[in-house]
Structure 1
Amino acid sequence: MKSEISIKVTDKYKAEYAKGYPLITKEALENPEALQNEGSILKLTDKQGRFLAKGYYGLQNKGFGWILTHDESETIDQDFMERKLATAIGRRQAFYSNLETTAFRVFNGEGDGFGGLIIDYYAGFYLLSWYSEGVYTFKDEIIAALQNVTECKGIYQKKRFDTKGQYIEEDDFVTGERGEFPMIVKENGVNFAVYLNDGAMTGIFLDQRDVRNTIRQKYAKGKTVLNTFSYTGAFSVAASLGGAAKTTSVDLAKRSSSKTIEQFSVNGIDFETQDILVMDVFNYFKYAKRKELKFDVVILDPPSFARSKKYTFSTSKDYTNLMKEAIAITERNGVIVASTNSASFGMKKFKGFIDKAFKDLGKKYSIVEEFTLPSDFRVQKEFKEGDYLKVLFVKLG
């Protein structure tokens, strides 16, 4: 049985928690020094000792833990987790029955009622991501609960924490049968090679499913497409299958080349007809300007923070300048797919970055498509930060 600690909440946050805000922050607590062992159950009360909510203590970059229930009599045990998982799986039944898409999110942290835990489905296998030591203390109960409420070929995990609260790249086979990698999953009929046993990343970001499909269905045919920060080339594959005249994929990571070749190959596309470049994206922009290259579609999906030998990139500070670089090599009436996964600002501010780039250059534009997280990435309305993905299809005037 986990220990339960009574913690008093400041008056300011008392109202927030009453409304359903799920994140336990240091600023919300009157006596944070009482917190010692991650994984402890926290009983949150107001200053008068009246019950507000129950959660757990788990340090991650966002805060001190997550609220799990507003019912004082509810016990945080395996039965509790089975109820949460069964509800989440029930919400995704349309995905389970879709043979054209065999990789999707099953449990999206606080959006499904248990912050710090992510569960993704890959063609019969489940991948659990733990975001704090605190949530990891629930591992045995959560895995048993998952096995009780659904059929699993096998379960893998990724621990995205260390004792200092930083992210680390680690993964592990947990139980069931081991997968054969690369594992081929489908997304709207497109094949993707994924690895559940190879570092922090699997080879595809599932949250961009709708964006890839839109590029393939509506924007790629006959177009030249530049995919920057291309990772394993998933956007390039979507564009190529949508009839793009040619794709160019650019990423600084050396592995990006072999991974992109693999993604083209599992879809029967001759990778030698595409350009795959391992180089700094900012250096590529300079090269493209020097060679007077222009593209019909430019995809900008940088990490929130990145560092190379010459450049440090932060979305909140540098996206406007990145956008200017893209505008300079985009054809008239071309489209820039501007994307960010930064949770530190909302869509309004992101649109401001785009607007400033065009105004500074004296150019006109229109936003023709707008995306946030797909439906399997369930978001809690009281926690807007959870809807981190922002994608705009920007047409040049």
Structure 2
Amino acid sequence: MTDVVLKKDKEKAVNQRHPWVFSGAIDRVKGKPVNGDIVRLLNHKGDFMAFGFYNDQSRVALRLLEWDENTAVNEDWIKQKVAAAVNARANILNAGTDTCRLIFSEADYLPGLIVDKYADHLAVQILTSGIEKLMPVVIDELRRLLNPLSIFDKSDASSRQHEGLETDNVVLWGDEPPASVEVKENGIVYSINIAEGQKSGFYCDQRDNRRIVAEHAAGKKVLDCFSYTGGFTLNALRNGAASVTSVDSSALAIETLKQNISLNKLDASIHSAIQSDVNKQLRAFKDAGEKFDIIVLDPPKYAPSRSALDRAARAYKDLNRVGMLLLNSGGLLATFSCSGAMDMENFKQVLAWAALDAGKQVQFIHQFCQPEDHPVRSSFPEGEYLKGLLCRVF
């Protein structure tokens, strides 16, 4: 096994069990490991520190796996981690929910591997060269544990490029998943398209938050922005909303949302769907004098990195400012950020600025976060990406 030696005074993060070692922290490599190989990490004195995946094309040159020198990182180790992650989600899956995230990359000690369960189908994202090399082992273990009808590769192109990997969405096991797979979440049925849908096909990270927002929806006029296939919309309709308007730029998402309303036998007469850019549509509502009781703002990632944070903060502020202007006094704004670089304190500050610009007073009455199948490892705070606030606006 190849040895990689750290520069002096670069041990702190490794000793604290942070799983990333950046290329600038490496002094030298003893040998010529192939990208994706498991290597030994040594400190500048030559003492063992950890085992990890190596990749010289990535800023994160090492993704650490194991800190015990006496524990072999082999196929059995990988299988144990896969099984531990899957078994930890057993309490989530029940008669009303058959979809969740089974493996969440570094949080489950398998950096670069994401596995989502959609009824009897699995969608995976393979984002590191180390996991790419070990996928036959991963697939065998997933088959043993779950016996899925299909395992489909939905790897994100930009993330794979950082590791020098090509992208090809393909079937890894079984048959091509059907164009429509029906899943249940909190008793609501969704039709999803694994092969063509966004990310891995569905955003199961909002499972708890959809339910919480819907608890306030009875008798209310609701606006669901960036609605995708209708998670917040369907929950609001089922919980007695007076009306729901859904806005999304994707024609496929809007069409699937309408199918989901029919699947759940919800009242389509109190629902309207608008295919439009959300920011443009919010301004159109403002010009028309429209008002709502509840508004959901769940935009895509505005800050993919810390370097984009200032620009993202301006975008979040403007989006929420207009949203606040569309609320009746005392109305609720459920607003989210899925940008890992935007922490909760920064997000609260952005909303405070938005309130000031809108001439509104805002109370934060609930903090949203990602659910238990998206755990945050104590030594890897970067895994906490989804945050949100339920705001009462006056």
TM-score after normalising by structure 1: 0.90
Equivalent positions of 1:1-397 (< 5 A) are 4-31=1-28, 37-58=34-55, 63-96=60-93, 98-161=94-157, 164-165=161-162, 170-198=168-196, 200-216=198-214, 218-305=215-302, 315-397=312-394
CA distance in 1, matches of 2:57, 2:115: 17
Higher mean C-alpha displacement, 138-147 vs 192-201:
192-201
CA distance in 2, matches of 1:169, 1:241: 39
Please report how far the alpha carbon of residue 354 of structure 1 lies from its aligned counterpart in structure 2 after TM superposition. Answer: 0.9
Please report how far the alpha carbon of residue 299 of structure 1 lies from its aligned counterpart in structure 2 after TM superposition. Answer: 0.7
- Aligned partner letter, 1:155: I
- After TM superposition, where is structure 1 displaced by more than 4 Å over at least 4 residues in a row? 32-36, 58-62, 166-170
Q: Report if aligned partners of 2:111, 2:128 keep a CA contact under 8 Å in 1.
A: no
CA distance in 1, matches of 2:323, 2:77: 49
Please report how far the alpha carbon of residue 158 of structure 1 lies from its aligned counterpart in structure 2 after TM superposition. Answer: 1.6
CA distance in 2, matches of 1:203, 1:287: 30
* Matched pairs, number: 386
CA distance in 1, matches of 2:168, 2:95: 30
CA distance in 1, matches of 2:8, 2:223: 51
Please report how far the alpha carbon of residue 200 of structure 1 lies from its aligned counterpart in structure 2 after TM superposition. Answer: 4.8
- Aligned partner letter, 2:220: K
CA distance in 2, matches of 1:30, 1:117: 28
Q: Report if aligned partners of 1:194, 1:202 keep a CA contact under 8 Å in 2.
A: no
- Aligned partner letter, 1:219: H
| Residues 1:62 and 1:363: Cα distance change in structure 2 (over 3 Å) | farther
- Aligned partner letter, 2:262: S
Please report how far the alpha carbon of residue 285 of structure 1 lies from its aligned counterpart in structure 2 after TM superposition. Answer: 1.7
| Residues 1:63 and 1:330: Cα distance change in structure 2 (over 3 Å) | farther
Higher mean C-alpha displacement, 382-391 vs 70-79:
70-79
| Residues 1:47 and 1:33: Cα distance change in structure 2 (over 3 Å) | closer
CA distance in 2, matches of 1:323, 1:92: 34
| Residues 1:294 and 1:83: Cα distance change in structure 2 (over 3 Å) | same
Give the 3-state SS of the residue equivalent to 2:236 in structure 1. Answer: helix
Q: In the TM superposition, what whole-angstrom CA distance separates every residue of 1:293-338 from its partner, at most 9, and x where no partner exists?
A: 01101111111139xxxxxx95333211111111111110000111
- Aligned partner letter, 1:343: G
Q: Report if aligned partners of 1:250, 1:277 keep a CA contact under 8 Å in 2.
A: yes
Please report how far the alpha carbon of residue 34 of structure 1 lies from its aligned counterpart in structure 2 after TM superposition. Answer: 7.3
Aligned to 1:309: none
Give the alignment's Cα RMSD to 1 decimal: 2.5
| Residues 1:291 and 1:60: Cα distance change in structure 2 (over 3 Å) | farther
Please report how far the alpha carbon of residue 255 of structure 1 lies from its aligned counterpart in structure 2 after TM superposition. Answer: 2.2
CA distance in 2, matches of 1:357, 1:105: 33
| Residues 1:76 and 1:366: Cα distance change in structure 2 (over 3 Å) | same
CA distance in 2, matches of 1:36, 1:331: 61
Q: Which runs of 5+ in 2 are unaligned?
A: 304-309
| Residues 1:290 and 1:360: Cα distance change in structure 2 (over 3 Å) | closer
Q: Which runs of 5+ in 1 are unaligned?
A: 307-312
| Residues 1:62 and 1:346: Cα distance change in structure 2 (over 3 Å) | farther
Identity %: 27
